[in-house]
Amino acid sequence: MGVTALVAAGLGGCALGPDFKSPAAPATAGDSYTPTPLPSRTASAPGPGGAAQQFAFGQEIPAQWWTLFRSPALDELIRGALAQNPNMAAAEAALRQVQENYNAQAGNLLYPSVNAQLGATRQKTSVATAGAAAGVYNVYNASVAVAYTPDVFGRTRRTLESAQAAIDYQRFQVEATYLTLSANVVTTAIQEASLRAQLKATREVLDALTKQQNVIEKQFEYGAIPRTSVLSQRNQVAQINATIAPLEKALAQARHQLSVLAGKLPGEGGMPEFALENLTLPEQLPVSLPSALVRQRPDVRASEEALHQASAQIGVATAAQYPQFTLSGSYGSAADTFGKLFDSQTSLWNLAAGVTQPIFNGGALSAQRRAAEAAYDTAASQYRATVLTAFQNVADTLRALDADAAALKSQAEAEALAKETLDLSEQQYKLGGISYLVLLDAQRSYQQTHIALVQAQAARYADTAALFQALGGGWWNRANGAPAATAVSAIPPYGKTNNTNN
């Protein structure tokens, strides 16, 4: 293709380099994220977190998904965290930065540069060079200069395309920060509720063991049992008592973490307390179709925009190998007195056009294009890795929801049997029907199953929060498509949401 044809193609809107197309969603077997199908409903168990959950494939996720836990305190805490957390503020500031960088690039590349100049000079010339005209005199000048570089081969368009992809990348980074922050608040609140329940259960066990110890101490005083039984009971009580301090430490740390997530110092106080019985386990679990996941996960969308940016940079590197055209002109005036500066006889102007064609640069431009292509291949591999991780997250969470529901059912049965065994053992021991070692085993078994039950209950809540996070959090369902940067103030107070999915 000759230069004339290339110029005509450029003026007709051609931009060198590849035109970016969003990668297609990966092919999956129907609606399944897992190799084997999931049951339509999970198992159920008595007590907090024991409700059966139904997987609703294809149902939309509400934008404020955390409201499904029906906790006004949690809703209010998330509102405060989204408004005050410094990581959220930093992500929004970074978005504003790339937007203004785009505006600066667009202003420099899309429009002619126009500069005005006004100057005054006093100078003395030499007789040797100026002859009779030598002397001291003033020079006043005023001019306006215009310069423009036509985008013949699309270098400007590809540069701005790359800059726009950088904006979209950061926009999805804001969404990812929004999702991560809200999910961290929910999971930390659930962790606090679990630790609080474990402390309560441990103290209940400790109280029962202490009462049993008082009975054994009396029996020892009357000579009914050996001292080894008393020491064994004291050891059991001490062991249970030793687990309280670590639980209290973990609970305090969870509350400190909640304060930091909310953008507050741990010492400020005023944080709500969370308990499992005050959280409602959502019974309907909306699950996006696999074909929609890549359009919903903020991290996948951000990775796609990084790929887009790399694609545009190939066009920039390609266009750099072709001629660059420049147009310039100026109009002004120059005179020896300021009063004559704008007379018609003192005017001056110029027009210029130029073209620069790279001829030899040691292969630098070709190397830059190959580097841009390699960067695109890197971004493509990173995009695929992000997609694979996203599907793994959903698959892992769905299996956890099913397995942990079954585990809670089994754990509830084990705890009930252990409690029944302990009650019967205590009665038999008082009547002398069993040895102290049998009673001790019953106590240990109940203590273990009771704590494990609380942990299993908390796992169901945490799994549910993890599912909403793995599916992208429903940001695309905000009213009027509001971005995360402006959505915080639009989150309605608890009980006043307009989202019908809530």
**Local confidence band at 207 (pLDDT 50, 70, 90 cut-offs):** confident
How many residues in the chain? 502
- The whole-number pLDDT of residue 486 equals 53
Q: Backbone phi, then psi, for 103, in 5-degree steps?
A: -60, -40
Mean pLDDT throughout 334-353? 84
Residues 6+ apart with CB under 8 A from 466: 183, 187, 393, 397, 400
Q: In the beta sheet, which residues pair with residue 113?
A: 147
Distances (CA, A) of 166 to 51, 109, 301, 369: 44, 17, 12, 20
Q: What is the pLDDT of residues 139-152, one digit of tens each?
A: 888 889 999 999 89
List beta partners, residue 355.
325
Contact 184, 101 (CB under 8 A): no
Question: Which of 442, 377, 473, 427 has the alpha carbon at shortest distance from 184?
Answer: 473
Q: Where are the domains of the chain?
A: 3-111+153-321+367-490, 112-149+323-356
Q: Distance between CA 271 and CA 77 in Å, rounded? A: 8
Paired with 350 in beta bridges are: 330
Q: Which pLDDT value is given to residue 489?
A: 45
Q: What is the mean pLDDT of the chain?
A: 87
pLDDT at 79 over 90: yes
Q: Which two tokens stand for residue 433?
A: 């029907």
pLDDT at position 246 over 50: yes
Architecture per CATH, 112-149+323-356: Single Sheet (2.20)
For the stretch 96-132, pLDDT in tens is 999 999 999 999 988 999 999 998 888 887 777 766 6
Q: Give 131: exposed, middle or buried? Use CB within 10 Å, 0-12, 13-18, 19+.
A: exposed
Which candidate, 24, 62, 125, 116, places its Cα nearest to that of 380?
Answer: 24
Tokens, residue 480: 């009027």
Q: For residues 11 and 50, what is the distance between their CA atoms, to the nearest angstrom?
A: 67
- For the stretch 489-502, pLDDT in tens is 444 444 444 443 43
Percent of the chain topping pLDDT 70: 91
Cβ atoms 467, 58 nearer than 8 A: no
Question: What is the rounded CA–CA span in Å between residue 44 and residue 501?
Answer: 23
Q: Are 305 and 169 in contact (CB under 8 A)?
A: yes
Confidence of residue 90 (pLDDT cuts 50, 70, 90): very high
Residue 229 has pLDDT above 90, yes or no: no
Residue 475 has pLDDT above 60, yes or no: yes
Q: What is the mean pLDDT of residues 193-205?
A: 90
Average pLDDT score over residue span 453-469: 94
Check pLDDT > 90 for residue 85: yes
Confidence of residue 437 (pLDDT cuts 50, 70, 90): confident
Q: What is the predicted pLDDT for the residue at 86?
A: 95
Q: What pLDDT score does 12 carry? A: 42
**pLDDT the model gives residue 456:** 94
CATH superfamily of the domain spanning 3-111+153-321+367-490: Outer membrane efflux proteins (OEP) (1.20.1600.10)
